[in-house]
Amino acid sequence: MDITVEVKDITSGVEVWVKGEIDAYTAPKLSETLYPLSKREGIVMIVDLTEVSYMDSTGLGVFVGLFKSVRAHNGVFTLVGLSERLQRLFDITGLADIIDIKSHAEGGVE
């Protein structure tokens, strides 16, 4: 499976739409696309995972790294549109307690 990462600049940062599967094969593309953006001072990064059908621990690692980088640069990192399966993955790993996760309806820049 392949992955598509679409990035749109917004006033306060970037909105990102990810489609496909996030695994050991596709995670490097996601990381290469988003990690440089995470270093922007004060960035607001919103990542929409509505069309992600599968994610393994490699994907979780990418999001932990992005979260840490965005926070280190005084930014805000939010995930939106997680399926029940992805939400459960973040819940059981405890990442849902540290990463801001919103439903698709709540997503977007306020």
Domain ranges of the chain: 3-106
Question: How many angstroms separate the first and last alpha carbons of the chain?
Answer: 34
Residue 8, both tokens: 């749109």
More confident residue, 15 or 10: 15
In which element (H, E) is residue 14 found? strand 13-22
User: Which CATH number, 1.10.30.50, 3.30.750.24, 3.60.15.10, 1.10.3720.10, labels domain 3-106?
Assistant: 3.30.750.24
Indicate the pTM of the whole model. Answer: 0.91
- pLDDT cut 90: percent of the chain above it: 88
Q: Is the pLDDT of residue 18 over 70?
A: yes
